[in-house]
Copies of this chain bind each other. A is one copy, B any other.
Amino acid sequence: MEDHSIPDIIVGRLPLYLRGLLYLSQEGRSVTSSQELGERLGISAAQIRKDLSQFGEFGKQGTGYKIDYLVAQLRQILHVTQVWEIIVVGAGDIGSAIARYQGFANHGFAVRMVFDNNPAVIGIEVGNFTVQDAVILSQAIQETGIKIAMIAVPASQAQAVADKLVEAGIKAILNYAPISLNVPSGVHVQNIDPVTHLQRMTYYL
């Protein structure tokens, strides 16, 4: 089904295509072109056609893409036809923002539990969640079988948290701590670090 020979950079663009298509769909559109989608996303039409062709034949020359069909296909390719539950570790500003974030619904994700190791934070309500003691983190992951976690703890604690998560069975980590995590192969990490993103732009300023 899934082809591991497809470069990660192409995989990384699929969520952008999916998002762009969903916006077009919300606007009541049923058909689009690689040209139009490309203009929305700032990606060339040729790149979009080339990327999608890696996964199959999704549109006909001259008639464009049926949006609903392509959305369904991309959701299958990205494995977000199901809802993935997520554990959030760290209930500071960032962790709380994630716990309250409304944007996961309908995109394949739902926060399930929020943990912290700070006694002053354990037990408080964050959005719809009561912050739980990180002491039971491993147990909770094993009992629920949850595979995805977000790390929103200080950089100094992030690697230790990641080690614990991986040991308990987590396979994908969204890392908000400004540090590169070492994880075994087979575990996926994506970093969200505003400094890195900003520096990528100041290069051009």
A residues with a Cβ closer than 8 A to B are 2, 8-9, 11-12, 14-16, 18-20, 23, 40-42, 77-80, 84, 86, 92-94, 96-98, 100-101, 103-104, 107-109, 147-148, 150, 155, 171-172, 174, 178-180, 182, 188-190, 192-205
Contacts and interface: CB of A to CB of B under 8 A. Distances in A.
Contact of A20 (B92, B180, B197): B180
Q: Which of A20, A196, A198 has the most CB of B within 10 A?
A: A198
Contacts of A9: 9
A194 to B, nearest CB: 6
B174 A188 contact: no
A171 B40 contact: no
Contact of A19 (B84, B103, B107, B196): B196
Contacts of A147: 205
A80 to B, nearest CB: 6
A98 B12 CA distance: 25
A16 B180 contact: yes
Contacts of A101: 93, 194
Contacts of A79: 202-203, 205
Given A77-B203, A97-B93, A192 B194 contact: yes
Contacts of A172: 198, 201-202, 204-205
A195 B110 CA distance: 10
12 contacts: A2-B204, A12-B200, A15-B197, A19-B179, A78-B202, A79-B205, A92-B97, A93-B100, A94-B97, A97-B97, A148-B201, A188-B205
